[in-house]
Structure 1
Amino acid sequence: MKQNPKSLKPVILLNIDSLMPEPLEVAIQTGQAPALQYLMENGNYIPNMVTSFPTMSVTIDSSLLTGSYADKHHIPGLNWFDDSRKEIINYGTGFRETFRLGMRRSIHNMIYRLNNEHMSSEVTTIYEELADRGIASASINSFVYRGNTPQRLRVPRLFTTLTRFKNGEWTTEATNIFSLGTFSKLRPWGVATQIAAGNYKFTARELRYLIRKNKLPGFTFCVFQDLDARIHLKGPMDIKGITKIDKEIQKVLNLYPSWEEALNRNVWLVMGDNGHSPTGKRYRDFTIDLRKTLKKYRISRLERSVSKKDQLVLCVNQRMAYIYVLDEQLPLSAVVEKLKNDQRIDIIAWKNGDLIHVESGMRKGSLHYRPGGEYKDVYDQTWSMEGNPELLDLNLTNEKVLSYGDYPDALIRLHSVLHSHSGRFIVVNAKPGCEFKAQATPSHLSGAAHGSLHKQESFVPLMIAGTSEKPIFTRVVDLKEFIIRLIQYQG
């Protein structure tokens, strides 16, 4: 694949899973993140980029790489139900849950089916569009990697029983430079420190390998995953993970004669993908067990296939959940009434055609809305609505201008998940401090969790260094257009 003949300035995007504005700023102010401080002070810093919904990495990265929300790319969360196959799709929510669903199935979903089957063919990724322009890309440690170059996924013999790959190998469509821990490595001698992917050191080493070998393509996407696990256990303000990742970024910048030269030669983007909400300590107060709330209905169980007798399927994504109503004789309104009895559920939403209905366990009234109408929001999207706008903390002016409060870009993000896949289902959102539970769902009491529409999980930081360009809107879904514009602008 040819590079741009004008020797384009490579764009390097470092995605630090669960990096949030406040702990990032504390780490910088206390001198514990000098590399990130340098990039922030010598570029543009946006502390409130709006991520996609649900605030789970696979959906966010799909939105970032395709420039679309879930209604277009069709990756609706880490845990969802495929109504056409009557199958729960789980990309790895936790050991107990994935074990009951089938470890081999979950790994196959994450490593292969997400990119080759589940992501819509109606959207294109950054990698695919750049390839059409003759510009190479690299994906390092990202589970969302779809490109148009056949790549072999290789599984060590020890782990072949955990996958559905024939003879321990499978061909996938990825970027032409592709690294995913054990499954695909750039450095022949590199050792992945996790089964499915490398840790932050592995990611940084793979990036440094490309720089040393002078093999940086037009666009490189690197994911640092370790911070998320620390925050789940220790809470949102833990900064030790940021310090560790910063040391690896320092080593990357030190490959250049100076850090200034690193910015002269490359465009550097550093971002978080989702925030976290601190969770309460008491199980009874802060865990919303949907099995108890909906106990009068027959709920499918993880260890067996969904049957015709099952009325509901529950798919929890930490602080949001999908409730699938399989029984055609059971009206959605009956399930909604049960959910409204729990004051810890702040948003209950479902669709009827293109009309979105919103109610709440915390607030009275209802809200109905659809795209197109007299109200224009801060992202130039238009809406028509009636009912109580406080359910989504919307501010409506007499001039028909609409702005968002606790739920950034809520209208399109909620609309997108309700049109992201087929079936009759309800979306529920937990108030801050709470998370949902179903059978074998991981718990994060006294730590932190994400997944919801709330601003605590929806605002992420973005640093841009090596260019004066900025995205048109401060949303993750707009980064694809921004990155392609950066590369085209240089050409």
Structure 2
Amino acid sequence: MNLEDGGRIVKKDKSSNKPVILLNIDSLMPQPLEIAVQTDQTPALKFLMENGMYFSNMVNSFPTMSVTIDSSLLTGTYPDKHQIPGLHWFDTRNLQFINYGTGLRETFRIGWRRSIHNMLYQLNHEHLSSQVTNIYEELAKKQLHSASINSFVYRGNKTQKLKAPKILRTFTKFENGEWTAQVPSIFSLGTFSKIRKKGFPTQIAAGNCKYTAKELRYLIRKNKLPSFTFCIFQDMDARIHLKGPTDKKLIKKIDKEIQKILNMYPSWEKALEKNIWMIIGDNGHAATGTSYRKGLINLRKIFKQFKVAQIQRRPKNNDQIAFCVNQRMAYIYILDKEISIRKLIELLQRESRIDVIAWKDGEDVHVVSGMKSGMITYRNGGIYTDIYNQNWSINGQLDILDLTLTKNQFISYGDYPDALARLSGALHSHEGRFIVVNAKPGYEFEAQSTPFHLNGAAHGSLHRQESLVPLIIAGTNEKPLHRRFVDMKNYIINLIDSN
């Protein structure tokens, strides 16, 4: 018998001495996946689903942006612990905007050099909290190897020299574009680090689905699969932003690459005997409208009476507020100590397209809405228990967060999965006085040079459309303790530990 961290006793699975391969398909959503499988458009995904377990409602992190989600998956924590607040946030300690690459115009404004440095180095070596460990680091302590392919969240225990290609060297802060990084045992990230020496990435900063699949096939062919391999297929996100959440073209394309991987074994059934396979999405998307005026919530117009900091420079002494937009959510920072947070809240509540407006006051989290009246206040610890065995103290209007409370003081979630923990996680992810705002489906926020996605789709919010993603597990009968990304780390390590 094996005792898990949560006190749950499980049987050892005889198949758990197999390598774990986790394939993260960016923007894979349950409905288009299920349609593609049911109509025989994706043979590999259908095989894994029918010969394994399928969960359509895995809860990711918040904000629903890849760097935050991947950090939660790998560390088993929300942003209050791993401290990656989003793709765009403001460092109040050093008074600078942190952007990992939200869009061409915004990246250009902030500065290519700074954004690239943030993504390639600071994300893993300065911003990702040293107080948490990820799967790679945990396995390294056990003298076990792991692989990261195409993930920008990669911190590991092995020291490795990385070098930017000539075209990017002037955009880095390192001499000759070379720096020392801490990476997993096996590390692949575009031209910066390749598993196959003669491999040629089709993208400078990372590889597309074909390149990622080739790197994984190389490990299988050379019998070099480590205990854990994490691969990301990023291609689909850009297309979904443009075409909308029901598009299936790239699901079929990625499935062909998974077919090639499975075809390396004598049979697909043999592939399940040799390895544990997991396919997971990272974020969903909410469809957006066609009207610029109706579809975009302009934060500068809402706060037109205030002096707003410009993202291309450090805030000036007379700047009062700052915006960091993550598509359908945003952080609003209060730089002027004389400004009452309540005054800003009142302005936000006049906007009916904002469904969640939240801020912290010590350990308390307050939430109001532009759609509903009243307020809900909650904090960690208390008499109410949710489906994840988390305890809370709650007062106020439960319907603001679509919560249901039963007679036995049990909390269930509706439109905002694991809302209490996820929202608190974002509010306690970094220092400063700030407000978190969430747009209702169909809308996204706009500030200075913010990318937007009219007639397509966007993500970032707390809503279930972006928060619930699929997970397929094949090659083992063990299940995660809960259907959340933050439970995947312990689940994977427990599978490997039971060797």
Matched, 1:271 2:283: no
Computed over aligned residues only, the root mean square deviation of the Cα atoms, in angstroms, reads 1.0
Which of residues 187, 192, 196 is equivalent to 1:183?
192
Find the counterpart in structure 2 of residue 409 from structure 1.
418
Alpha carbons 2:16, 2:495 under 8 Å: kept: no
Matched, 1:24 2:62: no
Matched, 1:349 2:381: no
User: Structure 2 matches for 1:76-91, cutoff 5 A?
Assistant: 76-91=85-100
Find the counterpart in structure 2 of residue 237 from structure 1.
246
Matched, 1:439 2:475: no
User: Structure 2 matches for 1:12-411, cutoff 5 A?
Assistant: 12-411=21-420
Q: Secondary structure of the equivalent of 1:164?
A: coil
Letter in 1 for 2:82: H
Find the counterpart in structure 1 of residue 7 from structure 2.
none
Find the counterpart in structure 2 of residue 455 from structure 1.
464
Alpha carbons 2:382, 2:393 under 8 Å: kept: yes
Q: Secondary structure of the equivalent of 2:17?
A: coil
Find the counterpart in structure 2 of residue 481 from structure 1.
490
Paired with 2:364 and 2:88, the residues of 1 have a C-alpha distance of 24
Paired with 1:80 and 1:157, the residues of 2 have a C-alpha distance of 29
- Deviation of the 1:290 alpha carbon: 0.3
**What count of residue pairs does the alignment treat as equivalent?**
485
Q: Secondary structure of the equivalent of 2:195?
A: coil
Deviations 1:411-464 (A, max 9, x none): 000011110000000000000000000000001010000000000000000000
What TM-score, normalized to structure 2?
0.96
Paired with 1:446 and 1:165, the residues of 2 have a C-alpha distance of 40
- Deviation of the 1:162 alpha carbon: 2.0
Paired with 2:295 and 2:18, the residues of 1 have a C-alpha distance of 49
Paired with 2:30 and 2:86, the residues of 1 have a C-alpha distance of 23
Deviations 1:178-210 (A, max 9, x none): 000011111111111112111111100100011
Paired with 2:160 and 2:72, the residues of 1 have a C-alpha distance of 23
Deviations 1:219-240 (A, max 9, x none): 0000000100110000000000
Paired with 2:399 and 2:58, the residues of 1 have a C-alpha distance of 23
The 10-residue stretch of structure 1 (150-159 or 70-79) with the greater mean CA deviation from structure 2: 150-159
What TM-score, normalized to structure 1?
0.98
Paired with 1:153 and 1:248, the residues of 2 have a C-alpha distance of 27
Find the counterpart in structure 2 of residue 3 from structure 1.
none
Paired with 2:290 and 2:16, the residues of 1 have a C-alpha distance of 55
The 10-residue stretch of structure 1 (185-194 or 161-170) with the greater mean CA deviation from structure 2: 161-170
Q: Secondary structure of the equivalent of 1:296?
A: coil
Find the counterpart in structure 1 of residue 6 from structure 2.
none
Extract unaligned runs of 5+ from structure 1. Answer: 1-5
Paired with 2:314 and 2:397, the residues of 1 have a C-alpha distance of 40
Paired with 1:67 and 1:194, the residues of 2 have a C-alpha distance of 29
Q: Secondary structure of the equivalent of 1:162?
A: coil
Which of residues 471, 476, 480 is equivalent to 1:471?
480
Find the counterpart in structure 1 of residue 5 from structure 2.
none
- Deviation of the 1:7 alpha carbon: 10
Letter in 2 for 1:22: Q
Paired with 1:137 and 1:328, the residues of 2 have a C-alpha distance of 47
Paired with 2:377 and 2:453, the residues of 1 have a C-alpha distance of 33
Paired with 2:16 and 2:22, the residues of 1 have a C-alpha distance of 19
Letter in 2 for 1:312: I
Paired with 2:85 and 2:443, the residues of 1 have a C-alpha distance of 21
Paired with 2:397 and 2:125, the residues of 1 have a C-alpha distance of 41
Paired with 1:398 and 1:218, the residues of 2 have a C-alpha distance of 46
Q: Secondary structure of the equivalent of 1:298?
A: coil
Extract unaligned runs of 5+ from structure 2. Answer: 1-14
Identical aligned residues as a percent: 64
Deviations 1:41-77 (A, max 9, x none): 0000000000010000000000000000000000000
1:7/1:325 CA distance change after superposition, 3 Å: closer
- Deviation of the 1:485 alpha carbon: 0.6
Q: Which aligned segments of 4 or more residues in structure 1 are displaced greater than 3 angstroms?
A: none
Q: Secondary structure of the equivalent of 1:385?
A: strand
- Deviation of the 1:308 alpha carbon: 1.5
Paired with 2:57 and 2:16, the residues of 1 have a C-alpha distance of 33
Paired with 2:64 and 2:398, the residues of 1 have a C-alpha distance of 22
Find the counterpart in structure 2 of residue 8 from structure 1.
17
Letter in 2 for 1:450: H
Paired with 1:269 and 1:419, the residues of 2 have a C-alpha distance of 31
